Structure 1
Amino acid sequence: MSEKDNLHDADGNEDLKSKAITTEYTVAENQNTPEDTPSNETTEASDAIKSEATETPKDEEQADQPVEDNTTATANSEDTAANKKDAHVDEIEKSNAEDAEDEGNNERHTLEDKDYHSMTMEQLADEFETLLKNKKVQTIKSHIDEIKTEFNSKFSEILEEKKEEFLSEGGSEIDFFYSSPLKKRFNALYKDYKNNLNAYYKTLETNLKSNLENRLRIIEDIKGLINVEENINTTYKLFKDLQEEWRTAGPIPRDKYNNAWNTYHHHVEIFYDFLHLNRDLRDMDFKHNLDQKLKIIDRAEELAQDDNSNRAFRELQVLHKMWKEDLGPVDKEHREAIWERFSNATKTIHDKRQAYYADVDKAHEANLEKKEAIIAKIEEIAKDELNSHQAWQNKIKVIEGLRTEFFNAGKVPIKVNEATWAKFKAAVRTFNKKKNSFYKGLKKDQYTNLQKKLDLIKIAEEHKDSDDFDTVTPLMKKIQNEWKEIGHVPRKDSDKIWKRFKAACNHYFDKLNAERNAANKGEVEAFEKKSKLLDNLKELSLSGTPEEDLETIKKKTEEWNALGPVPQNKRFIEGKFNKAVDSLFNNLKMDKSEVEMIKFENKLEHLSQPDDTRLLDNEHHFIRKKIDEVRGEINQLENNLQFFSNIDKTNPLVKDVLNNIENHKENLAVWEEKFKKLKELY
C-alpha cells in the first residue's frame, strides 16, 4: 500500500447503500476556533485557543500526539512523511482539524472583514455589540481580538494626553485616574463576551472529551473484530455499524483529530487485510469510492480556476474532509494517479491563495509608507516653536487631520504594526508635551493676571461709595485702563470677576452722575429748553422782508443766549443751533457780504466766554489762515494773467480770470472785516 493511500484513502468499504456524493457540492462553512478556556480547566480546550489556520496557516504549529503507542506508529510516520512532501495539503489538514472541534459551527469564515483600524472608538464599541448580539460567541474571536486591540490603542493615546494635561496642571502621577462612559461600556461588553465564551467552553469541554472517548472505543471495537470467530457476513455488518457510529460520533479536540483519524484508517485497513472479503464485493466498494473521488477531483479542478482564492480554499477544505472522512480506498492501480490529480488541484488553489496574500502584503507595505510619511510630518510639526494661543490651535487642527489620515491609511504588515503604532504615538506625544508645556506657562500667566484683576476689584469695591469725587474719579478711570491692559485670566474665572469689577465701577459712576446732575440742574434745564427752541427754529418761516426777517433771527439768537450754558456732554446742541441760524441767514434777500458779517457777529457772541479765550484764539488763527490763502490765490491768478498780455481783454479766458480775481478780492474784504471785528474783542 502506498504512503499517500494509507494517509488519505485508508478507510473501510461502505456498502452499496452508502450515501453517494453528487457533483454539486455545497460549500460547508468552516468552523470557528474558540478563543479562551475557563480557568485552564482542560488541555483540550486551552489548546483550542490558536490563531485561525485559514488566516495565518504558516503561524500555527500543531503537534499531533499519537492516540496509541503501538498500532499507529506506522500510520503516523507515513502521515508525517506525506505532510512534509505536501505542505499545501498540510494546510488543509490543519484547518480541518481546527474546524473539527465544533462541527455545528458554520459562521467563522463568512463573517465580513472590516477595517477596524479606521473606526472611531464609538464605532468599535458599536461593532463589538453587534457581533456579540448577532453571532455565535465561538465564531467572533479574531474580530473581537482586533476590535479590542484597536480600541485599547486609541484609548491609551487619549489616556496619555489626559495624563500629560493632569501633570502639567500640577497634579501628582500617583493621583491620576481617567475613565469615560465609552470605556466603561466597552469593558462591560468584553466582560459579557468572556462570560459567554467561558460558558461555551465548559459545555464544549465535556462534549469533546466524551466524543473522543467514544471514538477511541470504536477503534478498539474495530481492532477486536479481527479475532472474532463468527460468520463473515455478521462480522462485516458489525464493521459497517461501527463505521456509521464513527461518522456520527461528533467533534473531538483538534490536537487529537488527525491522529484519531489516522489510527482509525489504519485499523480499518488491517480489518480489510485480515477479513479476506469476497473480491467482487470489495471491487464494487473500490469502484464506488473511485467514482466519488473522481467527482471530488473534478470539482477541485474547477475550483482551481476560480479567481476568488479564499472562497475556493474554503470549499476545498470540504472536499478534503469528504475524501478523508466519507470515502474508503480505491484499487491500488488508481491510488497514485487520483491522489496526484487531487494534490495538484489543491496546490494550484494553495499557490493562488499565497499569491493573493502576497498582493495583500504589498498593499500593506504601501500603507506603511503612507503612515511613515504622516509620522514624519507630525515629527516635523512637533519641532516648531509656537508662542501664541492661535498658532497652537492652528497646529492642533493640523495634527487632528494627520491623525485621521493615519487611521484611514489602512493596515500595515503585522510584523511592524506594533512598532509603527508606537512610533506614531511617540510623535503625537512629543507634540502634546510641547503643547501642554506652552499652556502650562500660559495658565501660570493667567493666574498671575487673575491676581492682578482681583487687586483692582478690591480697589474698586473699597471706593465705590466714596464722596471724594475729585480724588476717586481719576483713580477709578485709572484702574479701568489698567484692567484693559491686563491679559487673559482662566476661562472659568473670567465672567465672574468681570461682573464684580463692572458692578463696583458702575455703582461709583452712577453715584457721581447723580451728584453732577443735581449740581448742574440748571444746565440740564437749559438743555431741555434749547432742544425745544431748536425744534421751533427748524420750523420757522421767514416773511421775505429782509429787515423784518433779520430782526426775527436776532430775537431767536438773543433768546437762545439767554437760556445759558448746557452740560459739558450736551454742548453739541450749540453746533446744531448755528447750522439752523446759518440756514435762515442764507434765505435772507440781502447782500451776501452783509449777511456774512451779520452771521459772523452772531457767531462771536457765542465765542465770547468770560475767562476763556480759547474759542476766540481758534477763530483768530482760522481767519488769519483764510486771509493768507485768499491773498495767495489772488497773486497766483494775477501771475497767470501775465501770460495773456498780448491778448484782448474781451477774450473769454481773460475775462474769466479777471472775474475770478474780483470775486477773490471781495471775499478777501469780508475776511479782513471779520478779522477787524475779532480784534476789537481782544
Structure 2
Amino acid sequence: MSELDNLQKADGKEEIKKSNSDQDIAANPESIDLKEDAPTTDTLIADHSDKPISKITASEEKTTEAEHPTENETEAPKGDASIAEGQENQPQKNEDDDLINEIDESNAEDAEDEGNKDRHKIEVKEYDKMSLEALANELEKLVKSEKIQAIKKHVDTINAEFKTKFNALIEEKKEDFLNDGGNEIDFFYSSPVQSRFKTAYKEYRNKIHDHYKNLENNFKQNLADKLEIIEELKGLINVEENINTTYKHFKELQERWRKTGPIPRDKYNNAWNSYHHHVEIFYDFLHLNRDLRDLDFKHNLEKKLLIIERAEELAKDDDIMRAFRELQELHKMWKEELGPVGKEHRETIWARFKNATKIINDKRQVYYQHIDKIHENNLEKKLQIIAAIEAINNEKIVSHSLWQKKIKEIEALREAFFNAGKVPIKVNEETWSKFKTAVRIFNKHKNAFYKNLKKEQYDNLQKKLELIKIAEDNKDNEDKEATTALMKKIQNDWKKIGHVPRKDSDKIWKQFKAACNHYFDNMHASKNAANKVVLDAFNKKYELLDSLKTLKISDDKDKNLATITDIIAQWNSFGRVPNDKRYIEGKFNKILDELFSSTKVDKNEIELIKFENKLEDLNSEDNTRNLDNERSFIRKKIDELKGQINQLENNLQFFTNVKEDNPLVKEVHNNIKEHKNNLDLWKTKLSKIKELY
C-alpha cells in the first residue's frame, strides 16, 4: 500500500491497530535499543561529524514545515507506528501537557503561514482610537509596505473599526438629512476617505487571494515531494550498499525533508508521523553500528541542552510575550529538527525543558491577568462615560446656548470613550452598542430641538423680510418726519425678532442695513444742507439786528411804518435760524417794540404787523403743526374773550335804576369795548392763519 493511500485512510479517521513494538515506540520515541555489536568505522564517524551549535535562538535552524501533531491528534498510517516526538515518557495528560499542546497548535498555524516571521514585527496600534482618515492611511501603508500574509489580523481589526465608525457617521448624517425635511429614500452619503479605504481594502483582498492561491499550489507540490522522501526512506533498509553510503543518503533525505516547504494542514499529521516512523525504523536498521547511533544521540543531546539553556534564559526575560514567542520556536526546533537522545538523559532534559516552559507560561498568565485587570478598569471607565451621556439625555435643554454647551460635553465624552482603551472581548460589542445608543438618543433630542428651532427661525426670516420691504419702499421718502419715525420703529422691531437660519442671516442683515443707511444718509445730507442755510440766515439776521441799534425814527408816521415794514420783510426773507439760535427772534421782537413805541401807529395795527411777522416765521419752518398750534391758541383766546364779554354784559343787568354816568357802570362799558376790540384783533389774526391754509 502506498503512503498516499495510508494518508487518505488516516484522514478518514480509520482506526489502526498497532503491533506491540509500534506501541512501545509511540509511547517512548527514544526507547529504540540498538544492538551493541555493530561495527564502527572512521568513515561513518567522519560522515556524521556535524558541528554542535554554540547558541540556539528563535531564528536559527527554523524550518517552514507545516503544523505538527499534538498528543491527541497523532494517528499513524496503517502498518506504521505513531511517534509522539517531544512527549517522552509522559503516560498521563496533565496541565503541563495542555500548555505543550497549546504551543504545538500555535506552531502548527505558523508552519502554514510563511509570513509568521514578520507578523510579530508589525506594530499593533490602538486602532480603536484612530479617526477614519488615520485608519485609511494605516491600511494603505500596510498593504503597500508589508507582506500580505503578515497583516491579516491588522487589516481585520482596521476594517472592523472603520465600518463601525463610518456607520455611526452615516447614522448621524441621515438623522440630520431627515430633520432637514429630506425623504429617507433619497438619502445618500459618501466621502473621499471611504473611497480610499475601499480601494486599499480591495487591493488587499486581491493580493491575499493571489497569495493563498500560490500557497495552495505550493502545498500540493510539497506534499508530493515529502511523500517521495518517505518512499525513499522505506527503500533504504533494502538497499545493498555500504552502510556509510546509506547513512549519507539518509542524512540527505533528512535535509531535503527540512527544506521542503509547508503541506496542506489536513495532510500534515499523517505525513509527519509516517516520516518519523520510518526514521525510527532506519535507526533500528543501524543497530549494526552503535557508534554511529551514539554519535547521533550525542549530537541531539548537545543541541537540546542548548535549547534548554536558551529557554531558561528566556524564563528571566522581562518581555514575557517576546519570550513566549521564542519559546514556541524552541519547541518547534525540539520536535521537528532534532532526533532522540540517550535513554539515560531523556527524562532529565525533558523535565528541565518543561520546567522552563512552565515558568515562562506562569509569567505569561500573570501578564494576561494584568491585562485583564486593565481591560476591566477600561470597561468601568467606559460605562461611567455612557452613564454620563445618559444623564445628559435626561436633562431638559431648552436654549441654543445650553445645547451648544452640551454638544461640547458630549464631544469630550466621545473622545474620552475612544481614548479609554480596550475592554474585555466578551463585552466589547455590548459596550459599543450601549455607547452608540446613548449618543444616538442625544443626537435625536438635539435634532428635534433644532428642527423646531429651524421652524421658528424660518418664521423669523419671513418677519425680517417684511421689514426689509418696508425699509426699501421708504428709503427715498421725502417726508422726513414720518419716515424717520418709521425707520426707527422697524429697527427696534428687527432687534426684537429672534434668530434666522444661519445661511440667510448675513444676507438679509446687509440688505436691511443698506436700506436704512440709504435713508439716513440722505436725511443727514439734507440736514447738513439745511443747517448751512439756517446758519447763513442767522448770520444775516445778526448783522441786521446789529444795524437796527443805530436806526433813527422820524416824525413821519407813514414813513416810519414803511421803514419798520421793510425791516420785517427783510428779516423774514432770511429764513429760519438753527433751533439753538432762535433767541435772536426774541431780540428782534424787542427792538420792534421799541421802534413801534416811538411811532404813532395804532396798537392793533402794530399787533397785526408783528403777528404777520410771526406767521412768516412759522410758515417758513415747513411744519404745519406749529400753524395748527397757533390756530388753536387764537381760537381759545377768541372763546375766552367772548365769554368775558358775555359775563360783563350780564353784569350790567344787575345795575338797575343806575345812571349811565355811574363810574362803576362806565368801567364795565369800557371793559366791554376793550374786549370787543381785542376780539376783533384776534379774529383778524385767525382769518390771516386761514389764508395760509
Equivalent of residue 430 in structure 1, options 425, 429, 441? 441
Match of residue 26 from structure 1? 57
Alignment partner for residue 298 of structure 1, among 306, 309, 331? 309
Output aligned runs, 1:360-375, within 5 Å.
360-375=371-386
1:447 matched to 2:470? The reply is no
Does residue 118 in structure 1 map to residue 129 in structure 2? yes
Structure 1 pair 162–104 and aligned structure 2 pair: CA distance change class (3 A): closer
- Looking at structure 2, the residues matched to 116 and 474 of structure 1 have their Cα atoms a distance apart, in angstroms, of 65
Q: Structure 2 CA distance, aligned partners of 1:103 and 1:23?
A: 27
Q: Distance in 1 between matches of 2:117 and 2:312?
A: 24
Residue in 2 that maps onto 1:164: 175
The offset of 1:277, in angstroms, is 3.5
Is 1:416 matched up with 2:427?
Answer: yes
Residues 237-257 of structure 1 deviation map (CA, whole Å, 9 limit, x = unaligned): 332221121111123344544
CA distance in 1, matches of 2:350, 2:372: 32
Q: Which residue of 2 aligns with 1:246?
A: 257
Aligned amino acid, residue 486 of structure 1: I
Counterpart of 1:263? Answer: 274
Q: 1:258 to 1:524 in 2, by over 3 A?
A: farther
**1: distance between equivalents of 2:519 and 2:62?**
84
- Partners of 1:431 and 1:62 in 2: how far apart? 53
SS of the residue aligned with 2:339?
A: coil
Residue 154 of structure 2 corresponds to 143
Contact 1:31 1:102 in 2 (8 A): no
Sort the Cα spacing of 1:480 and 1:270 in 2 relative to 1 into closer, same or farther, 3 A.
Answer: same
Distance 2:395 2:281 in 1: 80
Give yes or no for the alignment of 1:87 onto 2:95.
Answer: no
Decide whether aligned partners of structure 1 residues 457 and 355 sit closer, same or farther in structure 2, where only a CA change above 3 A counts.
same
| CA spacing shift, 1:9–1:153, aligned 2, 3 Å | farther
Q: Percent identity?
A: 60
The aligned residue for residue 380 of structure 1 is: 391
1:108 and 2:119 aligned: yes
The answer as to whether partners of 1:223 and 1:267 remain within 8 angstroms in 2 is yes
Assess if the C-alpha contact under 8 Å between 1:32 and 1:102 holds in 2: no
Distance 1:499 1:22, change over 3 A: same
Q: Which moved more, 1:247-256 or 1:290-299?
A: 247-256
The 3 A distance-change label for structure 1 pair 415 and 523 is same
CA contact (8 A) 1:211 1:251 kept: yes
Cα deviation, residue 314, structure 1 = 1.8
Q: Is the 8 A contact 2:30 2:340 kept in 1?
A: no
Give the match for residue 550 of structure 1.
none
**Aligned-partner residue type, residue 27 of structure 1:** A
Contact 2:487–2:516 (CA under 8 A) maintained in structure 1:
yes
Larger Rg: 2
The two structures have a TM-score, normalised by structure 2, of 0.67
Paired residue secondary structure (2:338) = coil
Contact 2:77 2:270 in 1 (8 A): no
Task: Name 2:299's counterpart in structure 1.
Answer: 288
* Distance in 1 (alpha carbons) for counterparts of 2:428 and 2:538: 83
* 2:78 matches 1:70: yes
Answer yes or no: is the 8 Å Cα contact 1:290–1:330 preserved in 2.
yes
Q: 1:492 aligns with which of 491, 503, 511?
A: 503
- Counterpart CA distance in 1 for 2:141 and 2:32 is 44
- Tell me the amino acid that sits aligned with residue 229 of structure 2: I
Task: Report the CA distance between 1:32 and its aligned residue.
Answer: 14
1:106 alignment partner, SS class: helix
Secondary structure, counterpart of 2:117 in structure 1:
coil
1:164 aligned counterpart, secondary structure: helix
**Pair 133,90 (structure 1): closer, same or farther in 2 beyond 3 Å:** same
**Counterpart-to-counterpart distance in 1, 2:63 and 2:349:** 31
Task: Give 1:217's match in structure 2, choosing from 200, 225, 228.
Answer: 228
**Using the alignment, how far apart are the partners of 2:63 and 2:162 within structure 1?**
23
Change (3 A) 1:133 1:530: farther
Is 1:130 equivalent to 2:137 in the alignment? Answer: no
Query: Which amino acid is the alignment partner of residue 209 of structure 1?
Result: K
Q: Unmatched 5+ residue regions in structure 2? A: 1-23, 34-43, 543-571, 584-616, 619-625, 630-693
Please state whether the residue corresponding to 1:362 is helix, strand or coil. Answer: helix
Q: Deviations over 1:468-509 (max 9, x none)?
A: 556555444433322221111111111222222233334444
Quick one: distance in 2 between partners of 1:395 and 1:365?
28
Q: How big is each residue's C-alpha offset from its partner over 1:412-437, in whole Å with a ceiling of 9 and x where there is no partner?
A: 11111111111111111111111111
Query: Within 2, Cα distance between the matches of 1:16 and 1:64?
Result: 37
CA distance in 2: counterparts of 1:147 and 1:517, whole angstroms:
73
Structure 2 CA distance for aligned equivalents of residues 124 and 104 of structure 1: 23
CA distance in 2, matches of 1:329, 1:228: 24
Q: Are the counterparts in 2 of residues 31 and 98 from structure 1 also a CA contact under 8 Å? A: no
Deviation of 1:280 (Å): 2.1
* Counterparts in 2 of 1:574 and 1:299: CA distance versus 1, 3 Å: farther
Q: Spell out the pairing of 1:222-233 with structure 2 (5 A cutoff).
A: 222-233=233-244
Equivalent residue letter for 2:307: I
The aligned counterpart of 1:352 is 363
Asked if structure 2 preserves the Cα contact closer than 8 Å seen for 1:83 and 1:89, the reply is: no
Match of 2:208, SS state, is helix
Q: Distance in 1 between matches of 2:269 and 2:242?
A: 33
> Would you say 1:6 and 2:6 are equivalent positions?
no
SS at match of 2:120: helix
Q: Is the Cα–Cα contact under 8 Å of residues 29 and 314 in structure 1 kept in the other structure?
A: no
Specify whether residues 489 and 448 from structure 1 end up closer, same or farther in structure 2 by C-alpha distance, changes over 3 A only: same
Return 127-136 or 438-447, whichever deviates more.
127-136
Kindly state the Cα deviation for residue 461 of structure 1 after the two structures are TM-superposed: 3.2
For residues 541 and 373 of structure 2, what CA distance do their matches in structure 1 show? 91
Choose 412-421 or 235-244, whichever is displaced more: 235-244
Q: 1 CA distance for matches of 2:485 and 2:60?
A: 90
Relative distance call for 1:83 and 1:133 in structure 2 (3 A) is: farther
The one-letter code sitting in structure 1 at the alignment partner of 2:314 is: L
Q: Are the aligned partners of 2:27 and 2:83 in contact in 1 as well (CA < 8 Å)?
A: no
8 Å contact kept, 2:74–2:273: no
- Supply the AA of the counterpart residue of 2:29: N
Name the SS of the counterpart of 1:202 in structure 2.
Answer: helix
Distance 1:250 1:179 in 2: 45
Moved more, 411-420 or 249-258: 249-258
Distance in 2, Cα, partners of 1:31 & 1:68: 25
For the 8 Å contact 1:361–1:413, the answer to whether it is kept is yes
> What is the CA RMSD across the aligned residues, in angstroms?
4.1
Equivalent positions of 1:224-623 (< 5 A) are: 224-274=235-285, 276-467=287-478, 472-512=483-523, 522-523=533-534, 525-526=536-537, 566-567=577-578, 571=580
Q: Count matched residues.
A: 524
Q: CA 1:91–1:309 in structure 2 vs 1: closer, same or farther (change >3 Å)?
A: same
Q: Which is worse superposed, 472-481 or 190-199?
A: 472-481
* Shift in Å, 1:161: 1.5
Q: Deviation at 1:169?
A: 1.0
The answer to whether the 8 Å contact 1:30/1:314 transfers is no
After superposing the two structures, state which structure 1 stretch, 431-440 or 210-219, moved more: 210-219
Q: CA deviation at 1:449?
A: 0.8
1:173 equivalenced with 2:181 (yes/no)? no
Alignment of 1:99 onto 2:110: yes
1:182-203 Cα deviation digits (max 9, x unpaired): 2222222222222222232232
CA contact (8 A) 1:464 1:504 kept: yes
C-alpha distance 8-96 of structure 1, shift in aligned 2 (>3 A): farther
Gaps (5+ residues) in structure 1? 34-43, 54-60, 532-560, 576-608, 615-682
